[in-house]
Structure 1
Amino acid sequence: MNGILAFILALIPYRDTILSVSPPLLWPLLNSPSKTGAVLLLYFLIQQIEGNFVTPIIMKKQVSLLPAYTLALVTAFGFFFGFLGLFLALPILIVIQIWVKEVLIKDILDPWQTAPSEPVNNP
């Protein structure tokens, strides 16, 4: 049940960890308060591995986003637009990246670069 709750709450960026750790932390408090620290440490380690290793590797391989672009954009959108900016930063970055590749590079620059250069003959 805790895994399903963590999966659902993972859709909320940057708040998911706090929200998803609360129910599993309450269970050891009721049964054995000494195990609460171990649960908190385990959640912290899982979140660090997922956030710092797994997600950047997936982003790099699936959508070819550099981690620096992702971090800069999420920070800027979070600063200027708040929670909504954090939530929409990556989808907007992916749409912009696809638009630049498909429209600007393939449709505009490729035909311009591959156009045959004919010598001008002035009779």
Structure 2
Amino acid sequence: MGLGEAVNGALEQGKKSMSGVISSVGPYMLAVGNGLTNLVLVIFAAIFLAADPDVYRRGFLHLVPEKAINVAEASLGDAWRGLNGWMKGQAVSSVVVAGLTWAGLAVLGVPSAGGLGVIAGLLDVIPMIGPVIAGVPAVLLAFTHSPMTAFWTVVLFLLVQQLQGNFLQPMIQKQAVDVPPALLLFSVLAAGMLFGPLGVLLAAPLTIVLFVLTKRIYVRSLLGKDVKIDGE
């Protein structure tokens, strides 16, 4: 019928377009796969550590010189108290943030208010940056309702963030370790650049551990300065 060349041309163009799509999407799919793999590894590592922590504690202390055993044991105790307090305070903060966000978005008539509230509560574990990330999808969905709803959604997230920063966050620091806010912010940014989303998620607890270990091992033991260690 004389259509052979046209059909072949269309097939070749289709193959080129499909190859372009695959080459563009491939790196993103690889990054998502790597992120999920790392997350699963971290979860299983946490389960193994939590199942029998004394095994790893004794193994670590076996590697420490005899004269430093007392300092190492005290450091592990400091890290445990800091993380324990942070987890308790953060759990309360996440529940409060999720509940307030859910209720506020429901009153404003924003679609999927419950899901957005859960996202806000989960992202509350990321200091300072988490509320901003959680607010983006909420504002975009609010625009589907009306621009005024989007405006009040921004106001809602600002109010919740002020409550979290001025009340909930000090409560968490009181329960855990009083880490300077600037140090916490820079640690989140550095962990994100070095380790990606997983680093951002783990930045706060890792910063707490490094903070108390620096106080105990470096400032008090090596420098000999009388510094107050939280939880003592």
Provide TM-score, normalisation by structure 1.
0.58
Question: Which 5+ residue runs of structure 2 have no aligned equivalent?
Answer: 1-98, 104-113, 226-232
Aligned length: 105
In the alignment, is residue 39 of structure 1 matched against residue 149 of structure 2? no
- Of 18, 38, 42, which residue of structure 1 is paired with 2:136? 18
Report the Cα distance in structure 2 between the residues aligned to 1:34 and 1:88, rounded to whole angstroms.
Answer: 35
Q: Which amino acid aligns with 2:155?
A: L
The change in CA–CA distance for 1:55 and 1:73 in structure 2 (over 3 A counts) is: farther
Q: How does 1:110-121 map to 2 (within 5 A)?
A: none
Structure with the larger RCO, 1 or 2 (CA within 8 Å, 6+ apart): 2
Instruction: Give unpaired runs (5+ residues) of structure 1.
Output: 114-123
Q: Are the structure 2 counterparts of residues 95 and 24 from structure 1 closer, same or farther at C-alpha, using a change threshold of 3 Å?
A: same
- 1:68 matched to 2:179: no
Offset, 1:73: 0.8
Q: What secondary structure sits across from 1:11 in the alignment?
A: helix
Distance 1:66 1:74, change over 3 A: same
Identity across matched positions, percent: 23
The structure-2 alpha-carbon separation of the partners of 1:34 and 1:75, relative to structure 1 and needing over 3 Å to count, comes to: closer
RMSD over aligned CA atoms reads: 3.7
Residue identity opposite 2:122 in structure 1:
L
Report what 1:8 is aligned to: 118
Q: SS at the partner of 2:122?
A: coil
CA distance in 1, matches of 2:182, 2:139: 31
Q: Per-residue deviation at 1:52?
A: 5.2
**Per-residue CA distance 1:5-36 (angstroms, 9 max, x = gap):** 455312134332234x269727x81xxx3641
Aligned partners of 2:193, 2:164: CA distance in 1, in Å?
20
Q: Deviations over 1:71-106 (max 9, x none)?
A: 11111111111211111111101122233345x269
Encode CA deviations 1:31-68: one digit per residue, 9 max, x unaligned: xx364144223234225524654465445544110112
1:49 aligns with 2:159: no
Q: Tell me the distance in 2 between the aligned counterparts of 1:74 and 1:60.
A: 16
Q: Is the 8 A contact 1:60 1:66 kept in 2?
A: no
Letter in 2 for 1:39: W
Aligned to 2:22: none
TM-score w.r.t. the length of structure 2 is 0.35
1:109 aligns with 2:221: yes
Give the greater-gyration-radius structure (CA): 2
